[in-house]
């Protein structure tokens, strides 16, 4: 049977905006019919640096990501090939040893703060979503999440937010809203969810 190119849906937005919430709702709905790729898994490996230096790096600048690898992987998936996706360990600020095999599916969700930043990635996206939320809500959510799930303490989260997360958001994340086809005010917004859900159903039926 002829291979059909996967449709790639980019889900962008600031930290804590609700990207994963939105993505997970779609994954729950479509299960194995959609594949999720987390941009965070493409953070560069920094085995050459000790932990104390890795924790001070700027993780909100586009250069923090290995974009060439992500591009290559998206091209391979588009060509119907399987990829070995890297995985990331936030508690060590480094790429993990394990990789994840990803088979080419009909629909790929690509989620991350900067998935709409690079024009080469953007060109591979068929639908672009930007999840929006007020900065105060985002940082509060991040504090709760990162202390529970990413092995961080509040002092470190606040310091990182003020030195890199907030300024990079204004410079690199926020401007990509202009590229979005759909802007939603929350990952829990049912209308936006329904729009994307209908679109995916249509693609899977075709
Ligand atoms: N609309 C919302 N109302 C309340 N909590 C939310 C909402 N959206 C997300 N959250 C919570 O905030 C945290 C961060 O959301 P998440 O979807 O992981 O954001 P992102 O992937 O954009 O960083 C999670 O714990 C999530 O459950
Ligand atoms: N070692 C790292 C790598 C990334 N981050 C932060 O993750 C944020 C992106 O993930 P979201 O789920 O919040 O969208 C980004 O803002 C980085 O600052 C980190 O803290 N440490």
ipTM of the complex: 0.98
In-domain check, residue 206: no
Contact 46, 93 (CB under 8 A): yes
Domains: count for the chain? 1
β-pairing verdict for 7-13 and 182-184: unpaired
Domain hosting residue 132, numbered range: 7-201
Q: Please indicate, yes or no, whether the overall pTM of this predicted structure exceeds 0.90.
A: yes
Q: In the structure encoding, which two tokens stand for residue 145, read together?
A: 């999440």
**Within a domain: 58:** yes
Token pair for 50: 């000790």
* Residue 47 covered by a domain: yes
- Give the integer Cα–Cα distance in Å for 48 and 84: 22
Using a 6 Å cutoff on CB, does residue 17 contact ligand 2?
no
Query: Atom 1 (ligand 2): residue with closest C-alpha?
Result: 93
pLDDT tens string 58-68: 999 999 999 99
Q: Which is it for strands 34-38 and 127-131: parallel, antiparallel or unpaired?
A: unpaired
Distances (CA, A) of 6 to 71, 77, 205: 14, 7, 13
Helix, coil or strand: residue 101: strand
Choosing from 38, 46, 56, 59 the residue with most ligand 2 atoms within 8 A of its CB, the one to mutate for a pocket test is 59
Query: For a pLDDT cut of 90, what percent of the chain falls above it?
Result: 97
13 is in an annotated binding site: yes
The annotation status of 80 as a binding-site residue, yes or no, is no
The answer to whether 100 and 26 are in contact (CB under 8 A) is no
Residue 1 lies in a domain: no
Which residue's alpha carbon is nearest to atom 16 within ligand 1? Answer: 18
Strands 94-102 and 83-89: antiparallel
CA of 56 to the centre of ligand 1 (A): 24
Ligand at minimal distance from the CA of 62 is 2
pLDDT tens profile 162-203: 999 999 999 999 999 999 999 999 999 999 999 999 999 999
Any idea what the Cα angle at residue 99 is, between residues 59 and 5, rounded to 5°? Answer: 90
Instruction: Give the number of whichever ligand sits closest to the CA of residue 143.
Output: 1
172 located within any domain: yes
Asked if the structure places residue 159 within a domain, the reply is yes
Question: Is there an atom of ligand 2 within 6 Å of 111 CB?
Answer: no
The reply, when asked if residue 105 is annotated as ligand binding, is no
């Amino acid at each position: 049977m002829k291979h059909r190119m996967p449709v790639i849906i980019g889900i962008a937005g600031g930290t804590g905006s609700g990207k994963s919430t939105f993505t997970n709702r779609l994954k729950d709905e479509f299960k194995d019919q959609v594949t999720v790729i987390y941009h965070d898994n493409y953070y560069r490996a920094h085995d050459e640096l000790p932990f104390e230096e890795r924790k001070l790096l700027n993780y909100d600048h586009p250069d923090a990501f290995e974009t060439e690898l992500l591009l290559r992987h998206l091209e391979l998936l588009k060509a119907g090939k399987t990829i070995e996706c890297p995985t990331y360990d936030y508690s060590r600020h480094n790429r993990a040893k394990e990789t994840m095999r990803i088979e080419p599916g009909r629909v790929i969700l690509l989620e991350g703060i900067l998935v709409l930043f690079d024009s080469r990635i953007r060109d591979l996206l068929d639908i672009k979503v930007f999840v929006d939320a007020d900065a105060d809500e985002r940082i509060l959510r991040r504090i709760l999440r990162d202390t529970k799930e990413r092995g961080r303490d509040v002092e470190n989260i606040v310091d990182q937010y003020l030195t890199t997360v907030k300024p990079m958001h204004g410079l690199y994340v926020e401007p990509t809203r202009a590229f979005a086809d759909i802007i939603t005010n929350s990952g829990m917004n049912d209308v936006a969810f329904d729009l994307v859900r209908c679109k995916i159903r249509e693609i899977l039926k075709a």
